[in-house]
Amino acid sequence: MKKAIRSIAMCCMAFTLAGCASMGAISISPDELKKKYGTAEDRYLRLTATPGEIAKRYGNSIDPLLIQKGLDITVRYRDEGQGQPVLLLHGVCASLETWDGWVRRMKGRFRIIRIDIPGFGMTGPAPDKRYYRKEIAVDFVDLLMDRLGIRQFSIVGNSLGGYIAWNYALKYPHKIKKMILIDSVGYNQKLPALLSFASSPAIQSIARSMMPRSMLNSAVKQVYGDKSKVTPEIQQRYFDFAMREGNKAAYVDVFAEMVRMNNVPGLSSDIPNIRVPVMVMWGTKDEWIPYTWVESWKKDLPSAKFISYEGAGHIPMEEIPDRSSQDAMKFLR
- What DSSP string describes 298-314? HHH-TTSEEEEETT--S
Can you tell me the mean pLDDT for 39-68? 80
Domain assignment present for 111:
yes
**Sequential DSSP letters for 90-131:** --TT--GGGGHHHHHHHTTTEEEEEE--TTSTTT---SSGGG
**59-116, pLDDT tens digit by residue?**
666 667 666 777 788 999 999 999 999 999 999 999 999 999 999 999 999 999 999 9
Amino acid at 196: S
Domain assignment present for 277:
yes
Domain assignment present for 120:
no
72 and 97 Cβ atoms separated by less than 8 Å: no
Number of structural domains, the chain? 1
The pLDDT value given to residue 61: 67
**226-251, pLDDT tens digit by residue?**
999 999 999 999 999 999 999 999 99
Domain assignment present for 251:
yes
Contacts of 257 (CB under 8 A, 6+ apart): 129, 132, 133
pLDDT at 121 over 50: yes
Domain assignment present for 85:
yes
Residue 116 CB coordination number (10 Å): 23
Q: What is the CATH number of the domain that holds 222?
A: 3.40.50.1820
Question: Helix 232-242 crosses helix 213-222 at what angle (to 10 degrees)?
Answer: 120
69 and 51 Cβ atoms separated by less than 8 Å: yes
The pLDDT value given to residue 130: 81
Domain assignment present for 42:
no
Domain assignment present for 168:
yes
CA distances from 235 to 90, 187, 214, 219, 239 (A): 16, 28, 10, 9, 6
User: Residue 270 sits in which domain range?
Assistant: 77-115+153-332
Domain assignment present for 144:
no
Can you tell me the mean pLDDT for 113-138? 93
* pTM of structure: 0.90
How many alpha carbons fall within 13 Å on the CB side of residue 166?
30
Report the 3 state secondary structure along 238-294. HHHHHCECCHHHHHHHHHHHHHHHHCCCCCCCCHHHCCCCEEEEEECCCCCCCHHHH
Question: Helix 160-171 crosses helix 134-147 at what angle (to 10 degrees)?
Answer: 70
